[in-house]
Structure 1
Amino acid sequence: MTTLQQVAIRAGCSLATASRALNRNGNVSDRMARRVRRAAAELGYRPINSAAGRPGQRPVVGVLIPSITNPVFASSLSSIQNRMLVAGHGVLIAQSNYDPAREADAVASLLNDRPTGLILTVCDPATSVALTSSLPPTVLLNNMPTSLFPAAVTVDNRGAGRELTQMLVGLGHRRILFVSGNFAASDRARRRHEGYRDAMIKNGIAPLEAVEISFLNGYDQLDLSAALATAPPTAIIASNDLLALGVISALRREGLSVPRDISVAGFDGIAIGRLMDPPLTTVEMPDASMGAAAASLLLDMAENAAPARHLDVAYMLRRGGTVRAI
């Protein structure tokens, strides 16, 4: 059986340093921590307290998502669990409910079980207080990498917003409204809106002021009467598909038809959008692939001391029956 002393010798450090690196309970440089983890992986060493501090329990990883009820995050989570199951890891789940103030508490809860590493989707990595230097190996999912957390699996949300808006402009639309969850709660939504503005300005069209609502409720009772009262839009882009469905419902309550009166498009590519009549126009995001990629990247970093990487995954614009040319 491999001992901690053998790991320390192979990594070229003291026994105490090797212990701190593997248990993540002291100051160890990132470079040394990677050397120790690589030595442990090469020697097949696993400390008995690496999984929640109790011998005999399998190791775990922690996953933070904004909402467990959103099909987008459910898809990513399913892929993460499948990948971790193959690797012999359990998965701990926490959700922030799109609340930046709850992220730190959620991450602290995950850390109580001393996970091998973390996969985090936060509201905004630039401002999240949950992202501290004391975290174990961490991969950001759906968030852009930062100098402190360079490991991330993302999609080009700004480019997606730009491409979707450009398609609508090409169909003759000039008054295009962007309806979104609160930008402070999702940098993904904010980047999609930035892409919308890019395309509008590039085409010499004044962007309309965005309508922001809560991500957690109000989709089924969305009121667009104020936005439709003066100079109504000919097209509406929603920051995600669930919100796009809420937009379509709100338009019908106003006696409007989609796409005859107003075109509607969203982001994500959830299955229910394909089951609609007509099918929803959307930017399909590879959520399952992104979850699997994040899990594999985390395992490579945590167990093989692989360097952090930024993986950018392709999206696909899928035109359905909810938009038309004017």
Structure 2
Amino acid sequence: MYPLRRNRRLRTNEAVRSLVRETIIAPSDFLVPLFIVEGKGVKEEIASMPNYFRYSLDLLENEIKELWALGLKSVLLFVKVSDNLKDNAGKEAINPDGLMQRAIKTVKNVCPDMLVMTDVALDPYSEFGHDGIIENGKVVNDATNEFLAEMSISHAQAGANFVAPSDMMDGRILTIREALEDDGFTDTGIMSYSAKYASAFYGPFRDALDSAPVDMQEIPKDKKTYQMDYANRFEAIRETEMDIDEGADIVMVKPGLCYLDIVRDIKNAVDVPVAVYQVSGEYSMLKAAAEKGWLDHDAVMMEQITAIKRAGADVIASYFAKDVVKIIQS
């Protein structure tokens, strides 16, 4: 006797498949990373990230308008800092007329309702390419936290809605939260990179910002003393719960595809929104494979994004955001 229940009935055609689809991708899912540079009329492609660009502030205006028209209402800002402005302390990061501060104001002037999140870390400003201050050959924790709090205040003063600490220093969320509260920025949110792994997938991003750790004998050659060991799972939950206790409003897992088990673990464990960063290496691998004709770019892209959301992501930071939205709106 044939089964009374045939699961294939719900796969008969696209109409029924879309009707019962469990995971739906929408423009509101996305946080769009943007790279900003000094200059005028600059839109330069990042060599290791095909079809992704650095923008000067004047052309950033056009990009923001296009994103908003597509229904993409949240951006995450990163800046490429000139070498002559870099030092160990990252002082340029708190310059009220710095590139990040001007970028925030540019976005808000063009589109006041755009949600602006800002990268809070020292690596773009550090002469050593590390996320913290170097003392005696080590990345120091507490002094770095104090400076990250100053950076966060500077971003809030410029108009940022959220600051996004990406450094993985212990206790930095509490230090930043207390500083924001003390300065009256009670509505400024914190999206914490709570489970950020010491991954090999970050290479193209570091090219985009010229922020890779420098190879010097007296300093760490990588970020493994503060970013997480990719072999660890339960540590991610512990890190995330601590950040929430310290005042994080949104928590993030980074990278994405190799860490979807972590995304689901954290989603099951916490009651705040969970973000996932689909990082530069994930983007560039697909671009390279598609260029070779080995993969169907759009089909794989949509499958990847759906997998990230299906795993539990409430927010997806992705360089594919515009491409995905154009597909789902077509």
Q: Give the TM-score category using the shorter length.
A: under 0.3
TM-score (norm 2): 0.26
Q: Which has the larger radius of gyration?
A: 1
TM-score (norm 1): 0.26
